[in-house]
C-alpha cells in the first residue's frame, strides 16, 4: 500500500464530502487493524472486517454472485456505512446522508474513491 497516495485519496474524500464524512479508515483484511484514517473507528474496523469475511463466505455458500467492489449498510440516524473490500485491504466510511446527496456520493464520489484506492494499493 502506498501510504502517500492513500493519504491524498483520504484528503480528497474529506474535501469532496465535507461535513457528510463522519469517519473513514483503511484497514487490513488480515486483522482489521486501521492503517490510515480520519476520525478513526478501530472497533468498527475490526467489526466490519468480520462482516466482510462473513458476507463473502455466505455469498459463496449460497450460489449467489460474489461480492463486488463494495457494499453499503443503511443504519439509523440518517447514516450509511460503506466498505470498499479487497483481499488485502478494506476502506470503510461512515457518512451522514443529511449532509451529502446520496446520488452524488454513489455516482460520482464512490467510483472515484474506488479508483484511487486501487491506485494506492498498486503502489
What is the per-residue pLDDT across 22-69, written as a single tens digit (0 to 9) for each? 999 999 999 999 999 999 999 999 999 999 999 999 999 999 999 999
**Who's near 119: CB < 8 A, 6+ residues apart?**
2, 5, 9
- What was the pLDDT predicted at 39? 96
**Mean pLDDT within 66-94:** 95
Close Cβ partners of 43 (under 8 Å, ≥ 6 residues apart): none
- The DSSP annotation for 24-83 comes to EEEEETTT--EEEEES--HHHHHHHHHHHHHHHHHHHHHTPPPP-SEEEEEETTTEEEEE
Q: How many domains is the chain partitioned into structurally?
A: 1
For residue 123, is it within any domain?
no
In a domain, 64, yes or no: yes
The DSSP bridge partners found for residue 94 are 23, 81
Q: What is the CATH number of the domain that holds 103?
A: 3.30.450.190
How high does pLDDT run on average in the chain?
94
Tell me which residue range forms the domain holding 14: 3-118
Report pTM. 0.92
Task: Identify whether 73 is part of a domain.
Answer: yes
Amino acid at each position: 500500500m502506498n501510504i502517500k497516495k492513500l493519504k491524498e485519496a483520504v484528503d480528497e474524500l474529506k474535501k469532496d464530502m465535507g461535513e457528510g464524512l463522519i469517519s473513514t479508515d483503511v484497514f487490513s483484511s488480515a486483522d482489521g487493524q486501521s492503517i490510515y484514517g480520519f476520525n478513526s473507528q478501530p472497533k468498527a474496523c475490526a467489526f466490519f472486517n468480520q462482516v466482510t469475511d462473513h458476507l463473502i463466505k455466505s455469498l459463496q455458500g449460497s450460489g449467489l454472485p460474489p461480492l463486488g467492489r463494495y457494499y453499503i449498510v443503511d443504519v439509523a440516524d440518517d447514516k450509511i456505512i460503506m466498505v470498499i473490500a479487497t483481499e488485502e485491504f478494506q476502506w470503510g466510511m461512515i457518512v451522514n446522508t443529511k449532509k451529502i446527496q446520496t446520488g452524488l456520493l454513489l455516482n460520482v464520489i464512490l467510483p472515484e474513491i474506488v479508483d484511487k484506492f486501487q491506485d494506492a494499493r498498486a503502489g
